[in-house]
C-alpha cells in the first residue's frame, strides 16, 4: 500500500519476520513520522541518535552498572553531549524550545539519567535563578552557569516536606551586623534532599528557604544562590554537610543529594530579590502586597517541567509499545487444530486489547504533550509582550497550569501501565534485562511522583473546575479563558440529558465525554456542598470529595481535552489514509478510556441497557482494524534500534537472534562461577551440610 518512499527517515531493511505485517499498513509510516515531528525536528533527533550510536562511550552495558560506575559513566556521557553542544547552549545561545524538548526526548529514550544530568547543568539551575534574578551578582552567576564555569543544582524538597512546599523549614536569617544571611537546617527533617546533581557534582545550589529578618519575623519562602563546594578542590564549605541519597529504583546515573546547613553565612546578594529583598539594616521590602502572589511568583512557573514530562511520557509509551508490539508480531504460540503454523500472538484478540490501546495512547499523548508544550512556549513569549492584557496572560497561565497538572498524571499513569502491560505481554523474555522494559519501568516510575504527586496534582485541575463552576458569572469566566478549555460548558444544558447513541464516532465520543465531565462537575460540587452543609471546613470538604468525584472529574476533563486536541489536529491533515488511521487511534484510546467510566455513565443515565456491550464490542473491533496497521504505527514512533536497545523490539524482527546475542554477552556467562568448588565440596564431602 506504500505509495512513495521518501529518503527520510531511513527505511528498514527489507524482509525479515516483521515484513508480513509491515506490508499490510494502509498508510506510509514515514509520512506519519513526519506528521508527528516536523522534518527539521526529526532530523535533529536523528542527528543526536546517530551521534550516540557511533561513539563507544555510549555503548550499553549487558549488566546493570554499580551505582558508582553508573554515576561516572553518565557524567562522562554528559560531558560528551555538552562538548558536542547540539544547541550551542554552552555558547550562551537560547535554543528553539521545540528543539530543546526534542533533545530531551531523544536523549531520554536512550537514558533518562543522561537526559536529566544534562538538564541539571544546562537548564534547571539557570531557569530557577533566572526567574528570580535581579542584581548584577545574579546575572554574573547565570553567565558563569551557562558557560559551565560553575555548576548548580536546585534544592527545594526537604526530607519532611515535598508536596506541601509552603512548609519547607530551612531558615535564612539576616544578620545586620555582618550583613549576611545565616542558613540553618533546624533538624534532619528539614534537610534539603532529592536535589539532582547535589550529591557529587555541583558547586552552587539554588536554595529555597524561609526568610527571617532580625526582628524574628518570617517573610516566607525565598530563593538564594548558595555556594556549596569550593570550585577548585570540590570540598564542601565548612557549615555545609552534603551526602549522597544512595541508590534509587531508577535514574541511578543521577547523584541526588542531601544537604544540611549549620550556621552557614552567605552574602546578602545571595538572595534572589525579585520578589522581596532585605535592606542593609534588616528591613524587608517586597513589590508584592499579597503574600500569596509573592509565594506563587517565588515558586516560579512549574508548568514547564510538567508540560515537558507529558512529552517524556509519550516517549516512554512509544518505547514500550514498540517492544511489545514488534515482539507480538514475531512470537508465535498455539494454533487452531490442524493448522500448519502457530499464530503470531498479535493475532489474538487478548493481545491486541492488552497492547493496542497503549499504542493509541502513545499517539494521543504525543500530540497533546507537544500541543501543551507549544501552548506553554507561546504563553511565555506572550508574557514578555507588554501590549498583551495582563489578565489574559494570567488566565492563560492558569489554563496551562490546569492542563499540565492533569496532563502529567494521565500521561505518567498511561506510560506506567503501558510499560507493565508490555512487560507481561512479552512473557518470560520480557523479564530479561535485555528486553529493555525493566530499565524503562524503573526510570519512568519517577514521573508519577516528581514535579507533583499525580493524585495531589489532579486537585489543581479539579479545584479550578469547581471554582469556575460555582462562580455565578461562570459564562463570562469561561469566555475569558484564551485557550477555550472549558468553552463547551457554555452550552451545558445540551449535556444534561444526553444519551449514548450507539454510534461510535469522534463526535459521539466527544459528546459522551462532555456529558461525563459535566456530570462529574455537578456531582462533585454537590458532594463538596453537602460536606460543608454538614459542618466540614473547606479543607476537609475537599479532601472528602476526592475519591470517585474530584479525582475522576480531573481525569475525565483531561481525557476529553486530549481527545479534543487530537481530533482538531487530525482533521486538518491532507492525507486521507493518515486521517483514517488516526481516527481509529482516537476512537480506540477514547472509548477504551471511556469504558473505565462505564459505571458512572450508567449511573448518570448516559448509558442504558446494552450500551456497555456496544462500547466494548466497538473497542474490540477497533483493535482488529488496527492489527494490520500496528507495525507501521510502531515504526513511525519508534526510536532507532540502538536507542531502543531491546532484544525483543528490534526493527528487523529477528527476536531470537538478538536474544541469543544478548544472552551470550553475559559476563562470564559460559564459565564456571567461583562457587562451583563449594558445590563440589558439598556434593563430595557430606560433612559440610
Binding site feature residues for FAD: 157, 196
Any contact of residue 656 with a copy of itself (CB under 8 A)?
yes
Q: How far is the CB of 40 from a copy of itself (least distance, A)?
A: 25
Residue 451 bears catalytic tag:
yes
Chain center to CA of 11: 29
Any contact of residue 340 with a copy of itself (CB under 8 A)?
no
Sign of CA dihedral 647, 649, 650, 655: positive
Any contact of residue 60 with a copy of itself (CB under 8 A)?
no
Determine which residue in the list 11, 333, 471, 475 makes contact with a copy of itself, applying CB under 8 A. Answer: 333
Please give the grid coordinates belonging to residue 682: 558439598
Binders of a copy of itself among residues 576 to 605 (CB under 8 A) are: 595, 598-603
Any contact of residue 192 with a copy of itself (CB under 8 A)?
no
Stretch touching a copy of itself by CB under 8 A, among 47-55, 194-202, 503-511, 553-561? 194-202
CA distance 198 to 228: 9
Residues 196-235, one symbol each (x = binds a copy of itself by CB under 8 A, - = not), give ---xxx-x---------------------------xx-xx
HSE-up (13 A, CA, CB side) for residue 396 = 18
Binders of a copy of itself among residues 256 to 285 (CB under 8 A) are: 258
Closest to a copy of itself by CB, 292 or 572? 292
Q: Which of 451, 492, 595, 617 is catalytic?
A: 451
Please give the grid coordinates belonging to residue 255: 547523584
Binders of a copy of itself among residues 551 to 580 (CB under 8 A) are: 551
Stretch touching a copy of itself by CB under 8 A, among 15-23, 557-565, 577-585, 669-677? 669-677
Any contact of residue 449 with a copy of itself (CB under 8 A)?
yes
Any contact of residue 431 with a copy of itself (CB under 8 A)?
yes
Task: Tell me the residue length of the chain.
Answer: 689
Vertex 114 angle, CA 110 and 117, to 5° = 155
- Total of chain residues touching a copy of itself, rule CB under 8 A: 137
Q: Three-class SS of residue 547?
A: helix
Q: Three-class SS of residue 284?
A: strand
Determine which residue in the list 66, 263, 394, 487 makes contact with a copy of itself, applying CB under 8 A. Answer: 66
Q: How far is the CB of 541 from a copy of itself (least distance, A)?
A: 10
HSE-up (13 A, CA, CB side) for residue 319 = 35
CA distance 211 to 298: 12
Any contact of residue 51 with a copy of itself (CB under 8 A)?
no
CA distance 251 to 678: 36
Closest to a copy of itself by CB, 130 or 200? 200
Q: How far is the CB of 282 from a copy of itself (least distance, A)?
A: 29
Closest to a copy of itself by CB, 285 or 547? 547
Q: How far is the CB of 307 from a copy of itself (least distance, A)?
A: 21
CA distance 649 to 118: 27
Q: Which of 41, 54, 29, 52 is nearest to 109 (CA)?
A: 52
Q: Are 600 and 520 in contact, with CB atoms under 8 Å apart?
A: yes
Any contact of residue 148 with a copy of itself (CB under 8 A)?
yes
* Residue listed under C-alpha cell 526529526: 42
Any contact of residue 57 with a copy of itself (CB under 8 A)?
no
Stretch touching a copy of itself by CB under 8 A, among 1-9, 301-309, 436-444, 578-586? 436-444
Binders of a copy of itself among residues 458 to 517 (CB under 8 A) are: none
Binders of a copy of itself among residues 375 to 414 (CB under 8 A) are: none
Element (H, E) at 265: strand 264-267
Any contact of residue 8 with a copy of itself (CB under 8 A)?
no
DSSP letters for 443-465: HHGGGGTTTS-HHHHHHHHHHHH
Any contact of residue 3 with a copy of itself (CB under 8 A)?
no
Vertex 63 angle, CA 52 and 640, to 5° = 30
Pairing of strands 180-184, 264-267: antiparallel
Instruction: Encode 193-223: b = buried (16+ Cβ within 10 Å), e = exposed.
Output: bbbbbbbbbbbbbbbbbbbbbeeeeebbbbb
Any contact of residue 288 with a copy of itself (CB under 8 A)?
no
Residues in the annotated binding site: 157, 196
Q: Which residues are designated catalytic?
A: 451
Amino acid at each position: 500500500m506504500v505509495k512513495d518512499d521518501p529518503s527520510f527517515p531511513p527505511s528498514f531493511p527489507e524482509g525479515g519476520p516483521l515484513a508480513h505485517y509491515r506490508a499490510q499498513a494502509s498508510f506510509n509510516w514515514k509520512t506519519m513520522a513526519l506528521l508527528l515531528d516536523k522534518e527539521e525536528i526529526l532530523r535533529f533527533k536523528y542527528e543526536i541518535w546517530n551521534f550516540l550510536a557511533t561513539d563507544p562511550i555510549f555503548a550499553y552495558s549487558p549488566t546493570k552498572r554499580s551505582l558508582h560506575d553508573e554515576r561516572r559513566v553518565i557524567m562522562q556521557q554528559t560531558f560528551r553531549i555538552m562538548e558536542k553542544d547540539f544547541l550551542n547552549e554552552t555558547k550562551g545561545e537560547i535554543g528553539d524550545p521545540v528543539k530543546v524538548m526534542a533533545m530531551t526526548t531523544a536523549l531520554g529514550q536512550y537514558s533518562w539519567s543522561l537526559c536529566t544530568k544534562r538538564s541539571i547543568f544546562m537548564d534547571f539551575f539557570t531557569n530557577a535563578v533566572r526567574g528570580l534574578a535581579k542584581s548584577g551578582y545574579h546575572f554574573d552567576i547565570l553567565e558563569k552557569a551557562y558557560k559551565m564555569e560553575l555548576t548548580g543544582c536546585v534544592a527545594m524538597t526537604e526530607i519532611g516536606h515535598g508536596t506541601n512546599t509552603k512548609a519547607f523549614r530551612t531558615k535564612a536569617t539576616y544578620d545586620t551586623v555582618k550583613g549576611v544571611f545565616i542558613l540553618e537546617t533546624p533538624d534532619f527533617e528539614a534537610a534539603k534532599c532529592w536535589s539532582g546533581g547535589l550529591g557529587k557534582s555541583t558547586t552552587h545550589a539554588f536554595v529555597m528557604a524561609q526568610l527571617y529578618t532580625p526582628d524574628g519575623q518570617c517573610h516566607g519562602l525565598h530563593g538564594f544562590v548558595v555556594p556549596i563546594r569550593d570550585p577548585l578542590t570540590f570540598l564542601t564549605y565548612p557549615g555545609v554537610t552534603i551526602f549522597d541519597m544512595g541508590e534509587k529504583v531508577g535514574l541511578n546515573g543521577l547523584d541526588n543529594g542531601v544537604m544540611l546547613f549549620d550556621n552557614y553565612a552567605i552574602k546578602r546578594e545571595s538572595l534572589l530579590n525579585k520578589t522581596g529583598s532585605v535592606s542593609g539594616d534588616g528591613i524587608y521590602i517586597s513589590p508584592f502586597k499579597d503574600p500569596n502572589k509573592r509565594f506563587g511568583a517565588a515558586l516560579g512557573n512549574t508548568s514547564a517541567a510538567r508540560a515537558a514530562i507529558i512529552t517524556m511520557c509519550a516517549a516512554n509509551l512509544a518505547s514500550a509499545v514498540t517492544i511489545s508490539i514488534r515482539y507480538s508480531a514475531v512470537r508465535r504460540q498455539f494454533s487452531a487444530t490442524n493448522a500448519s503454523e502457530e499464530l503470531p500472538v498479535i493475532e489474538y484478540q487478548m493481545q491486541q486489547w492488552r497492547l493496542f490501546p497503549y499504542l493509541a495512547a502513545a499517539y494521543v499523548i504525543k500530540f497533546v504533550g507537544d500541543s501543551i508544550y507549544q501552548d506553554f512556549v507561546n504563553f511565555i513569549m506572550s508574557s514578555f509582550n507588554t501590549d498583551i492584557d495582563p489578565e489574559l496572560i494570567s488566565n492563560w497561565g492558569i489554563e496551562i497550569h490546569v492542563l499540565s497538572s492533569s496532563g502529567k498524571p494521565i500521561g505518567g499513569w498511561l506510560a506506567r501501565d503501558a510499560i507493565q502491560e508490555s512487560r507481561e505481554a512479552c512473557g518470560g523474555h520480557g523479564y530479561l534485562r535485555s528486553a529493555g522494559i525493566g530499565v524503562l519501568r524503573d526510570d519512568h516510575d519517577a514521573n508519577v511522583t516528581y514535579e507533583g504527586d499525580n493524585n495531589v496534582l489532579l486537585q489543581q485541575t479539579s479545584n479550578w473546575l469547581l471554582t469556575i463552576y460555582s462562580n455565578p458569572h461562570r459564562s463570562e469566566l469561561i469566555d475569558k479563558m484564551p485557550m477555550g478549555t472549558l468553552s463547551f460548558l457554555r452550552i451545558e444544558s445540551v449535556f444534561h440529558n444526553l444519551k449514548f447513541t450507539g454510534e461510535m464516532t469522534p463526535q459521539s465520543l466527544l459528546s459522551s465525554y462532555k456529558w461525563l465531565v459535566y456530570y462529574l462537575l455537578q456531582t462533585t460540587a454537590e458532594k463538596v456542598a453537602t460536606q460543608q452543609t454538614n459542618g466540614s471546613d473547606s479543607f476537609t470538604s475537599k479532601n472528602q470529595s476526592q475519591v470517585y468525584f474530584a479525582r475522576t472529574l480531573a481525569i475525565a476533563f483531561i481525557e476529553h481535552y486530549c481527545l479534543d486536541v487530537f481530533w482538531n489536529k487530525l482533521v486538518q491533515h491532507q492525507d486521507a489514509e493518515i486521517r483514517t488511521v488516526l481516527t481509529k487511534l482516537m476512537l480506540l484510546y477514547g472509548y477504551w478510556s471511556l469504558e473505565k467510566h462505564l459505571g458512572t455513565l450508567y449511573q448518570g443515565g448516559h448509558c442504558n441497557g446494552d450500551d456497555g456491550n456496544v462500547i466494548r464490542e466497538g473497542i474490540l473491533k477497533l483493535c482488529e482494524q488496527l492489527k494490520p496497521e500496528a507495525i507501521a504505527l510502531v515504526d513511525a514512533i519508534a526510536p532507532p534500534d540502538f536507542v531502543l536497545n531491546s532484544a525483543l523490539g528490534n526493527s528487523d524482527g529477528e527476536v531470537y537472534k538478538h536474544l541469543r546475542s544478548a544472552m551470550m554477552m553475559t559476563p562470564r556467562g559460559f564459565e564456571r562461577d567461583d562457587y562451583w568448588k563449594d558445590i563440589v565440596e558439598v556434593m563430595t564431602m557430606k560433612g559440610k551440610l
